[in-house]
Structure 1
Amino acid sequence: MRIVTALGSAALLPQGPDVSRDAHRANLVSAAKALAKLALEHQVVVTHGDGPQPGVLALQGQAGPSAEVMGTQTDSLIGYMLEQELGNWLPFDTPIATLVPMIEVDPDDPAFDTPMHCVGPVYDRAEAERIAVRTGWQMRADGGGWRRVVATPVPRRIFQKRPLEWLVEQGTIVLCAGGGGVPTAYNDAGDLVCVDALIDKDFAAALIAREVGADLFLAATGADAVCLDWGTADQRAVKTAAPDALERHAFAAGSIGPKVAAACQFVRATGKPAAIGALCDLSAMVAGARGTVISPDVTGITFHEPASEPGAALAPEMRHGT
C-alpha cells in the first residue's frame, strides 16, 4: 500500500523553550520508530510540520529572512535529522531521501489580501511598528504581543512530482514538503519565483497524497482522534466518519481543523480513506483500529467506546495539537 503520512508539529517537535539539537533528536526518535514500522510493510512518503523552527531561525538571523526561505531551511534541517533516525530503525540498505519541493500557488490567491499566519518571535507593539516600517512586514496582535503575519495560499501542484514518484517506485522512503513546501509562482514575465508566504502543511500533504496516487492519507498529531464537542462533558472521539458528516461540525482553525479539511479533501478527490490520530498509533490507524477514519464507504459518524477500547478516547491531558 502507498501511504502519505503527515506528521504534525505537536507529534514531532519540542514545543518548550529547549530548541537544541538534542531536544529535537529525542522527539524524532519516537517518530522514526513509528515510521519505520510502517515502512517495513508499505511504500511511505512523509511530510511534516516545522513547529517553532521558523521563529527560531528568525531569532537567530535578525536580518529577517523571508518566510519561504525559513521554510526551506527548516524542511532541510528536520529532514536530515529524521533521515538519520529512520536509518537507525530500518535495515542498513533502506533508501531514504529528503526532497524540498517547490509547490505552485496562485499569486492572486485571496489569502494574500488578508495574511493571517503568525511567524517568528513576539514583539511589543512599538518594536513591531518599527520592524513593519523597516521591512514592510505586516504585523498583528497575537496573545500578549505582536507578530509578523504571512499569507497561506492554497497549494495547486508540486513541481517535483516526477522525481518524487520515481523515488517512491524505487522503494525509497521520501521525506517531502516539510512545513508545507516552498511556495512558488509565475510572475508577470513568466519567470518562476519564490513567494513570501507559507503553505498549510496539511493541505500540502493532501496534495502530495493525491499527486502520487496514495492509497491512504494519514495525519499524525498530538491527539488520539478527532473529537466532537471538544472540552465539554459531551466530548466524543470519532471512530469513523463520512466527509460530509464530519464537516458539518466546527473544528479549531489553528489545530485539528486543517487536518480534518485536508483529509476530507483527499477522500473526496480520490475515493480513498484518510485517518487522523496519534503518532504512536500509525500502524493501528492503517488497520482502522485507532484514530479517526474518514471514508467514502461509510455514512454518518460512529464513535469510539472508551470502556471497551482502552485508550481510544482522548485522554484529558491530550489536546488538538498541530
Structure 2
Amino acid sequence: MRILVALGGNALLKRGEPMTHARQRANVAKAAAVMARVIEAGHDLVITHGNGPQVGLLALQSAAGPKASAQPLDVLDAESEGMIGYLIERELRSRLPGREIATLLTQVRVDGADPSFAAPTKPIGPTYSESAARELAAANDWTIAPDGHGWRRVVASPEPVEVLEARAIGLLLAEGVIAICAGGGGIPVVRQVNGWLTGIEGVIDKDASSALLAQHVGADLLILATDVEGLFEAFGTPRQRLIPTVRAHDLTLDDLPAGSMRPKAKAAADFVRATGRSAVIGALDDVEALAEGARGTRFLP
C-alpha cells in the first residue's frame, strides 16, 4: 500500500517542550523508528511534515539580527524544510540501510489573491502568555491569536493550488525511493503574468498540501499524524469521546478550532472526496495502528 504520512510540526516539537535541537532530534528519532517499521511492513511511504514551531523560531532568530539581513517567510519555510527533512532522512537511513531516501525541497503554487493574506490563521513559533504575546505583537507588527492554553503569532496560510515538484516526486517513488517532501506545506510561490515564479510571505497548511500531493502520487491512504489520538467530541471536557469514523461527505467544520484540528479534518475529507480512498487522523506513536485501521479517526467515503 502506498501511504502518505504527514507528521505534524507539533508532533515533532511537542507543545510545552523546550524548542531545542536536542529535544527535536529525540522526537524525530521516535518518529523515524515508527516510519521505519511501517516501511519494513512492506508499504511505500511518502513523508511530509509540519514546521509551525520551527519556522516561527527561525523568524525570531532572523528578526534578532540586522534589519537588512532579515529573511522573508518563504525563505524561512525552505530553511525549515531542509532542516527537518535532513533530521528525518538521517534517522531513517540509520534504521534502513540499503534503502534509497531523498529529501526534496518542494515549491507549492498559491494564489496571490488568496483571502488568507488578509486574515491570518496559521500559528507559528513558541506559545506565550496573552500579555507577552500582545507586547511582542505591538513591537513586531504581528497578528496573534489564542492557541490551546496560550497565544501564538499567526500568519497567512493560503490554499495550495499546485505542487510544482509532484512529477519529480512520482519519479522517485517509481524507483522505490522513500520521499521526504512538501515540508511545512511547501515553499509558497506565485506565478506572475510573465510566467516567472516569486516567493510570497506565508506558511501553507501542511495537511492541505499533503492531501493535494497524496492525490497526485496515487496514495491509497493519507495519515495525518499529530499529538492527539484523533477527533474528539466535547474535547477538553469530562465528556470527551474519540470519534472513530467520519463520513467525509457528512463532515461539518464549524465546531473545530481554525488553527489546529479544522485544517486536518478538512484535508482528510478533501482527499477522501477526491479519491474515494480513506484518510485517518491520529497520534504519531500510533502510525502502525493507524495504517491498519485500528486507531485514530478514520475518514471514509
TM-score in terms of structure 1 length: 0.83
1:255 aligns with 2:260: yes
* Aligned residue type for 1:279: L
* Aligned-partner SS, 2:60: helix
Instruction: State the alpha-carbon separation in 2 of the partners of residues 246 and 230 from structure 1.
Output: 17
* Aligned residue type for 2:194: A
Residue 172 to residue 145, structure 1, CA distance change in 2 (3 Å): closer
Greater Rg by CA: 1
The residue number in structure 1 matching 2:297 is 292
1:50 aligns with 2:54: no
- What are the superposed Cα offsets for residues 99-140 of structure 1, whole Å, 9 maximum, x if unpaired? 1111111112122232333445777767645544xxxxxx33
1:59 aligns with 2:60: yes
Counting matched residue pairs gives: 289
The residue correspondences of 1:127-166 to structure 2 (distance < 5 A) are: 128-129=137-138, 131-132=140-141, 139-142=142-145, 149-166=154-171
- What are the superposed Cα offsets for residues 146-172 of structure 1, whole Å, 9 maximum, x if unpaired? 976432111011111111001111111
Instruction: State the alpha-carbon separation in 1 of the partners of residues 280 and 266 from structure 2.
Output: 12
Instruction: State the alpha-carbon separation in 2 of the partners of residues 22 and 141 from structure 1.
Output: 28
1:222 offset after TM fit, Å?
Answer: 0.9
Residue 57 to residue 277, structure 1, CA distance change in 2 (3 Å): same
The residue number in structure 2 matching 1:77 is 83
- What are the superposed Cα offsets for residues 217-259 of structure 1, whole Å, 9 maximum, x if unpaired? 0011111121112123332211122113332662122222111
The residue number in structure 2 matching 1:231 is 236
Instruction: State the alpha-carbon separation in 2 of the partners of residues 124 and 262 from structure 1.
Output: 29
* Aligned-partner SS, 2:286: helix
Instruction: State the alpha-carbon separation in 2 of the partners of residues 127 and 223 from structure 1.
Output: 29
Residue 120 to residue 8, structure 1, CA distance change in 2 (3 Å): closer
1:117 aligns with 2:118: no
The residue number in structure 1 matching 2:24 is 24
The residue number in structure 1 matching 2:219 is 214
TM-score in terms of structure 2 length: 0.88
1:145 offset after TM fit, Å?
Answer: 10
How many percent of aligned residue pairs carry the same amino acid?
41
Gaps of 5+ in 2: none
Residues 125 and 145, structure 1, Cα contact 8 Å, conserved in 2: no
Instruction: State the alpha-carbon separation in 1 of the partners of residues 295 and 260 from structure 2.
Output: 20
Indicate the RMSD between aligned Cα atoms, in angstroms: 2.3
Instruction: State the alpha-carbon separation in 2 of the partners of residues 142 and 240 from structure 1.
Output: 30
Residues 7 and 220, structure 1, Cα contact 8 Å, conserved in 2: yes
1:243 aligns with 2:248: yes
* Aligned-partner SS, 2:95: coil
1:38 offset after TM fit, Å?
Answer: 1.0
* Aligned residue type for 1:35: M
Residue 235 to residue 246, structure 1, CA distance change in 2 (3 Å): farther
Gaps of 5+ in 1: 133-138, 297-322
